[in-house]
Amino acid sequence: LLVFLWCISPALTRYNDPGQKHIKEHHEEVRERPCPHPGCNKVFMIDRYLQRHVKLIHTEVRNYICDQCGQTFKQRKHLSVHQMRHSGAKPLQCEVCGFQCRQRASLKYHMTKHKAEAELEFACDMCGKRFEKAHNLNVHMSMVHPLTQNTDKSKAYREPIGFVPSQNPPVLETISDSLAQSLIQTNTS
């Protein structure tokens, strides 16, 4: 906001420099700055972005050193994340399930799983976990929840071991005869 105000009228801000830098980078010197490294086709509009790119991608300079193990890094933030491994710190936490991590990118990726999971069609009646495909639910049921196979192979629904069936047991999903046969053989051996 400050830089924007400075763009409109420098008199609106009490700072002299922020606007000068902004004007120079975004309005006066607008030109493409290609990476000078052979074979690299990256192009930047701002000199410092080009300089950062060259430093991080095309040089082996690693000025940030872990004082505990000696591992080196090109950026201070990478060293900071690394040092959390030594301390065991995981400062970021998922508000949905409590998952903890060290980096925002990891938490962001983790959160996509919650969004996607809520949209999945097939749910396990035992634990609530959701799946995209009926087959995946069937595999989950056979691996996570001990199951028995209904003797009526045409329905091929499964019940937890110890379940006392009613006259009309719920059908979770039909499965192929070959999968039903393998489940029966697994449960009877």
DSSP 58-78: H-----EE-TTT--EESSHHH
Name the band, by pLDDT with cuts 50, 70 and 90, for residue 8. low
Claim: this prediction has a pTM higher than 0.75: no
The upper half-sphere exposure of residue 93, i.e. CA atoms within 13 Å in the direction of its Cβ, equals 5
Q: Between the ranges 55-64, 115-124, 130-139, 175-184, where is the mean pLDDT highest? A: 55-64
